Structure 1
Amino acid sequence: MTDLLIVGGDVVTMDPARRVLTGATVAVSGDRIAALGTAEDLRARFPGAREIDASGCVVIPGLVDAHQHTTVDPLVRSMIPDHIGSQESIFDWIVPLHAHADGDDDELAATITAVDCLSRGITTVLEPGTVAYPERVAAGLGAAGVRARVGGWGWDAEGVPFGAPADEVLARQEDIVRSLPVTGPVTGWVTLVGHDLASDELFAGAASLAERLDVGLTWHISPGPADIEAYARRCGRRPVVHFRELGVLGPRLLLGHAVWLDDAETDAILETGTAVAACPGAYLRLAQGYTRASRHAELVRRGGRVALGCDAHNAGDGPDVLLAAYLFAALERDRDLPDPVRAEQAFALATIDGARAIGLGDRIGSLEVGKAADIVVLDGDDPAWIPRGDLARQLVWGHVSRTVRDVLVDGRVVVRDRRPTGVDLAAVAAAAAERSAALLGRAGITPRPTWPTERAADR
């Protein structure tokens, strides 16, 4: 029996023909899309179904965030200064905070991230590996109802906090994947931090492990020039070329960032079907030279597998994939290259192309019969939709993520009338304030607000 009809919206299908069905109804049965058509036909075909009135609204596929850290940063959102270097940010803030975070912190931070994502229409999140308590993170993500792939810390560099020998790292990676469901909204991935923190043995072992467990694999590389310099010292060649020589590139692998590429690295990514997660907001916030070095648009033009991500809360201040799509298209257009990125291409990166990049293109990313019912209803009453223009352009250039009204994941309503259905926001906010202060205290960090802040009662 069909559980739900989403009635009367303008449905952006992102199917192969990129059809937009105006005044359409989407029928949801269980966790799948059962039919698309007119309200009259589907009411007759599926009598007794519950309904969500989407008249005048825009209905889109759930958005995909292919690189979103979920731990620690959400508890210190916008607290790390934006005028310090990356090393100070990492070693004076992030490392001490992670060293003092506990499982309760990780689960709460993951819940905050999930609610944050869902409120912006993001239904699928790939966590790229700053997780000390992966099972608790999975629980936090699952409570809010987001679809997610979760990994953990993973590196074997000597003298670096949280490191371990390669065999121990791989054993933990396998334990994480096996501790989570094989199927369902929240499952496991093999996850290394990457950069220059993993040995060749660990990279090769992780690729083999992902193949054996039949899961995806991700790590960070080259958001800035530091990794290029490190690999020049390490092996006399650039990182992605080195990965090709190791035999670890391929369709299971999603490289986080891969901004600083040369021709050979770009070719290697394309030839092996390796995917890339681009996080334009983070590169701007962290001043990593995106417009000087990025080859992401070239990967898109040449048929590469590219997704969008929002990185961490202190790199982007909040997960917003439509903002990432806007920045991706805008920055590439400003480089004055031939065949600039168009709105419809950027929106595809946020939906169907992003789904394909993380190996879920047959399940999510478009509104087609048989696919998972990951559906977002954008409120047509928002002034951002007056007048209704070309939807591809309006979705990207109009930056309409603030209009998210209702969200479904696997057919389950997880946001209704802009409020999460599975999480008590007031309780989450109270817990976040308490745990944030306690975590900062344990880490010995005192935030330095930009503006003098005092309680009115103390005046």
Structure 2
Amino acid sequence: MLLITNVTAVTVDSQRRIITDAAIAVKGGRIADIGKAADLAPRHPDAELLEGHGMLALPGLIDAHAHSDQALLRGAADDLSWRPYLQEVIWPLLSRRTQEDAQISLRLCMLEMIKSGTTCFVDSIVPSHYDFDALAQAVQEMGMRGVLAKYVLPDALFGRGESPVDTGGFSGEDESLADAERGIGVWHGAAGGRLQVWLGPLVPREEPPASASPGFYRRVSRLAARHGTGITVHFAGTIDDPPFFQREFGMLPAEFARRYDLLGPNVLLINGTWFSEEEIPILAETDTRLVHSPSANMKMGEGFAKVPQMRNAGVTVALGCDAAANNNCHDMIREMKAASLLHNVVMMDPTTLTAEDALEMATIEGARAIGRRDQLGSLEVGKQADMILVDLKQPHTMPIHDPIANLVYAAHGGDVDTVIVAGQVLMQGRQVLVADEAAILEEAQERGLALLKRAGIEVAPAWPME
């Protein structure tokens, strides 16, 4: 048994208790006890002690929208709107990556997540030619909790000449779905349940041509239901999407999703920046979940989801960092602040999205968004022991009057001291224990430069370098 002592525990339980002078007992990968340290110490006299030094203990953060394969592209696609971002940079670079590039990119992404307090992530598009087995093995080795969404493609994308979207060497929809089913069979629930395999269908959009294939999305939904797994898909994320759905199908985006089985409690929609007020009740009635990436939305100038209205209507909204290419980091603490400030200024009301709201989105609502609220997202007896310790005794976070306000508005990922997943300590004293940090950074730098060179893309500062 492990006893984490001398912490302030932000439980995010149903009462939203904050326990000072607290201790947390961990046994068998789960939280066995939580309360005042003075009470827990005599109950667990033989436990191994982990001294918290007065730090803030809170549930591990959940990044519900990530693109691990873009970690090597950090800084390569700045100051671009979504169309040139994809067409001129992302697609050319991703088409030239190797399996080894994808693996080090994932390890770099997880390293950054661990060092900034993320314990669980959703990788929304994982093509099969990356060597899915090797990627899943990497998640298992580094101790994180991951949802890997297998990229699946409709027949409409095949047989139409050269496609900007990587088809992964498949001949058609059947082969794409069959490969995803194999991945689910091998890896879903692996690593003691830390690893899940979902489906990540191609975004329904005018570009690439005919990607909104109704029958395909129904097949994806049936496959997910058969295996008891989830679906995550980029949806209504650009200003061009609603006119496309109206023109081609005579429906609003949410109406299309409802008609063709892309809504429900096992569906996590990405962005949803252009859902109208009229569509919010559809999301709420179907218990569909959405993930919001405010930093990427603001950086690309692509709009923002109606998060306050959605949450008020009962829609579960999680937070995600998106990608190193358009965020440009995976720091969920900074993302919480971005979410709060964005919606407060939009609504011209500083109480629109509070620090507490943002923390809920990054923890308990993130857990609900991936169907794991009974296991993750709060510090409660019986739940998985996924937690982080944050050192707020820093010049930029002192004095502490309200620990949650200081966490969300003043802290950053570099203040995370300790990370624990399923009872395993992944980082302590900011030393990562599950990977060779220096080796990952060195290989990432080498492969990142080589990838840009192969693609013929040059990136340099706008200001002169001597």
- TM-score with structure 1 setting the length: 0.93
Tell me what 2:195 maps to: 186
Tell me what 1:98 maps to: 94
Question: Distance in 1 between the 2:401 and 2:412 partners?
Answer: 13
> Does 2:340 correspond to 1:329?
yes
State the secondary structure of the residue aligned to 2:6.
strand
**Residues 331 and 412 of structure 2 are in contact (CA less than 8 Å); yes or no, is this contact kept in structure 1?**
no
Query: What is the deviation of 1:337?
Result: 6.2
The one of 106, 111, 136 equivalent to 2:107 is: 111
Question: Distance in 2 between the 1:112 and 1:274 partners?
Answer: 31
Q: How does 1:279-428 map to 2 (within 5 A)?
A: 279-290=293-304, 294-336=305-347, 340-428=352-440
Query: What is the deviation of 1:321?
Result: 1.6
> Does 2:81 correspond to 1:85?
yes
Query: What is the deviation of 1:172?
Result: 2.3
The one of 173, 177, 187 equivalent to 1:166 is: 173
**Residues 148 and 187 of structure 1 are in contact (CA less than 8 Å); yes or no, is this contact kept in structure 2?**
yes
Query: What is the deviation of 1:181?
Result: 4.1
**Residues 151 and 177 of structure 1 are in contact (CA less than 8 Å); yes or no, is this contact kept in structure 2?**
no
> Does 2:10 correspond to 1:12?
yes
State the secondary structure of the residue aligned to 1:151.
strand
Query: What is the deviation of 1:115?
Result: 0.9
Query: What is the deviation of 1:179?
Result: 2.7
**Residues 355 and 408 of structure 2 are in contact (CA less than 8 Å); yes or no, is this contact kept in structure 1?**
yes
Q: Spell out, residue by residue over 1:293-335, the C-alpha distance to the aligned partner (whole angstroms, 9 max, x if none).
A: x311111112211100010101111112222221212121112
State the secondary structure of the residue aligned to 1:373.
coil
Tell me what 2:53 maps to: 55
Tell me what 1:32 maps to: 30
- The one-letter code matched in structure 1 to 2:71 is P
State the secondary structure of the residue aligned to 2:200.
strand
> Does 2:257 correspond to 1:246?
no
State the secondary structure of the residue aligned to 1:362.
coil
The one of 40, 43, 46 equivalent to 1:42 is: 40
Tell me what 1:264 maps to: 278
Q: Which runs of 5+ in 1 are unaligned?
A: 455-459
Q: Spell out, residue by residue over 1:87-146, the C-alpha distance to the aligned partner (whole angstroms, 9 max, x if none).
A: 222122211222111211111111111111111111110011143422222223333221
Question: Distance in 2 between the 1:425 and 1:211 partners?
Answer: 39
- TM-score with structure 2 setting the length: 0.92
Which deviates more from structure 2 when the two are superposed, residues 27-36 or residues 444-453? Answer: 444-453
Question: Distance in 1 between the 2:94 and 2:104 partners?
Answer: 14
Tell me what 2:442 maps to: 430
Tell me what 2:120 maps to: 124
**Residues 271 and 293 of structure 2 are in contact (CA less than 8 Å); yes or no, is this contact kept in structure 1?**
yes
- The one-letter code matched in structure 1 to 2:253 is P
State the secondary structure of the residue aligned to 2:146.
strand
User: RMSD value over aligned CA atoms?
Assistant: 1.8
Which deviates more from structure 2 when the two are superposed, residues 308-317 or residues 153-162? Answer: 153-162
Question: Distance in 1 between the 2:147 and 2:259 partners?
Answer: 28
